[in-house]
Chain A
Amino acid sequence: MNDTAHAMPVEETNIDYDVEGYRRDFPILSEQVHGKPLVYLDSAASAQKPRQVIDAVRYVYEHEYANVHRGVHYMSEHATEAYEGARTKAQKFLNAKHAHEIIFTRNSTEAINLVAATYGRRFLEPGDEIIISIMEHHSNIVPWQMVRDEKGLVLKAVPVSDDGEFLIDEFKKLLTPKTKLVAITHTSNALGTVTPVAEITRLAHDVGAKVLIDGSQAVVHMPVDVDALDCDFYVFTGHKLYGPSGVGVLYGKEEILNAMPPFLGGGEMISRVTIEESTWAGLPNKFEAGTPMIAQAIGLGAAIDYVSEIGMERIAAHEQALLLYATQQLTSIPGLKIFGTAPGKAAVISFALGDAHPHDIATIIDRAGVACRAGHHCAQPLMDRMGVPAMTRASFGLYNTRADADALVEALEFTREFLG
């Protein structure tokens, strides 16, 4: 937070935002942990599920389950309709032009691997350059290292400032005519930094590079419009968006997806198979070999409905107010240092508390019912950059309240005392 933000009085959360009502949609939030009410501040790792999602998944299995795209019978038709309905919901959620530009994957990791393994193998040549950033999740680093090693590519990383800001000028310096792909996170999972993806995309396109944006941490905090961004690929995962685990989304521009070879071979992704050769199905089936995650995709559709009904702008406003409040409260704790203070960051606060190790902190506050993530957050290059092996992270979702932030502060005060 900048100084102006610090000085501003924190206003009460908009009364228009019925956070208590939304909390009642999430059954797990009334659970007790070690005899204390659960204070869930780990939504960036995986978000909790509202009743609407749980019910949607149950409804599939109780009323409309069969394999999709295969049967001519009633159940298969209904399951297919629901599954394809989820695709349309994802299309609208991202404002993609066509539903068939939405490919269901297992998660963001698989979506990125799909692009690396198909686009990367087919279209990248030895000496071509890929640009990522130093604050990528391992899932947006390792697939590119793998294709780099296989194809003789060059992998470059954009640095960040001490505050965790994406250094756009450094990015410009790394761009060359050899840059063929830019793969950047939209929001850092460890620091909450929101990157200027529209500008990144424009600059990358100027040198003829394609752009993949990892939106795993972004779609949960803000409205995203892939058409306006003009990115070539956009990925996110369902379980961080209050949906089931086991389903993710790869958005790709139609003409690029059409040019790409298939990822996995098998059923559903073919047009015709003889023992000698096969021809591929059209989009999106070409990239969805085998029986897909039917109920999970339908559950993701329900999650998209849920957040859309509340409104991503309203969720963002609620979380930003909470971020400001939590930041102010946390900085009052002696010895607490926040990592990542880029302007406009998302509601994620990673911090150090004196010399205390994040694992000790997380274990101790857990006994007060407070769930935080401790570790390297699958972002070891960023940990190296910040000079720490690990951080403790509190991440906020649509259901978190000031009381949650207060409980965190109280638990940290106790931790400080306890560890002495």
Chain B
Amino acid sequence: MLDDLRELYQEVILDHGKSPRNFRDVEDATSHAHGANPLCGDQLVVYLRVDEGGKIEDISFVGKGCAISVASASMMTELVQGKTVVEAKEMFRRFHEMCTRDDVVDDAGLLEDELEKLNVLSGVRAFPVRVKCATLPWHTMSAAIEGKDEASTEA
């Protein structure tokens, strides 16, 4: 019982969950999106400031959620800061695979450091209903990049 739980709730997740980084809005945001998980009522907003070259200059979030979703959002804002939107979306794709599949093939070392940090969230694999908690912030960031207002885990 404890092994699974400790794998899911690693110290770093509990830390991000309790003291989320970049938990604020971005005043001069170039885009933002609302994310909602209708199953649990969790909601968040992700703000982005992207420069003309497509680089993410600032990213933040506000909202309410469980330890997993808040930690995932917090880590996401740290890791995509300074990346291009293309890299951010690629990171999401790889992270999503990590949360849902046991057999992920490493793609030629791309974004390796970032993905290694996100690996602490891969414990959700053992808790299928919690995968959406981990991926909701990323769906929301993705929606903001694409200029959509809303993201939902049920979309």
Contacts and interface: CB of A to CB of B under 8 A. Distances in A.
Interface of A: 34-36, 355-360, 363-364, 367-368, 374-376, 380, 383, 389-390, 418-420
Please classify how large the interface on chain B is, using the bins under 10, 10 to 19, 20 to 34, 35 or more: 20 to 34
A359 B14 contact: no
Contacts of B40: 358-359, 374-376, 389-390
B150 interface: no
Most A CB within 10 A of own CB, among B1, B39, B41? B41
B9 A418 contact: yes
A138 to B, nearest CB: 11
Interface string B39-71: 111110000000000000000000011111000
A390 B40 CA distance: 7
22 contacts: A35-B1, A355-B18, A357-B67, A359-B68, A359-B130, A359-B133, A360-B66, A360-B67, A363-B5, A363-B8, A364-B5, A364-B9, A367-B1, A367-B5, A376-B40, A376-B41, A389-B41, A389-B43, A390-B41, A418-B5, A419-B9, A419-B67
B64 to A, nearest CB: 5
Contact of A360 (B1, B43, B64, B68): B68
B14 A357 contact: no
Dominant SS among interface residues on chain A: mixed
Contacts of A376: 40-41
B120 to A, nearest CB: 15
A36 B1 contact: yes
A142 to B, nearest CB: 13
Given A357-B65, A360-B66, A367 B4 contact: yes
Nearest to A389: B41
A337 to B, nearest CB: 16
Contacts of A357: 65-67
Interface in B6-29: 8-9, 14, 18
B54 to A, nearest CB: 34
A36 B9 CA distance: 20
Contacts of A35: 1
A4 B1 CA distance: 40
B130 A368 contact: no
A352 to B, nearest CB: 12
B14 A420 contact: yes
Contact of B1 (A355, A368, A390): A368
A420 B13 CA distance: 12
For the complex of A and B, list the 4 residue pairs with the smallest distance between their C-beta atoms, beginning with the closest: A357-B66, A376-B41, A359-B66, A367-B1
B3 to A, nearest CB: 10
Contacts of B64: 389
A364 B40 CA distance: 16
A363 B14 contact: no
Contacts of B5: 363-364, 367, 418
B103 to A, nearest CB: 25
A359 B71 CA distance: 14
A203 B100 CA distance: 55
Nearest to B39: A375
B43 to A, nearest CB: 7
A97 to B, nearest CB: 41
Most B CB within 10 A of own CB, among A35, A357, A364, A383? A357
Contacts of B1: 34-36, 367-368
A383 B38 CA distance: 13
Contacts of A363: 5, 8, 127, 130
Contacts of A359: 40, 42, 66, 68, 130, 133
Contacts of A389: 40-43, 64
Contacts of B18: 355
Nearest to B67: A360
Contacts of A383: 41
Contacts of A390: 40-42
Contacts of A355: 18
Nearest to A420: B14
B138 to A, nearest CB: 17
Contacts of A364: 5, 9
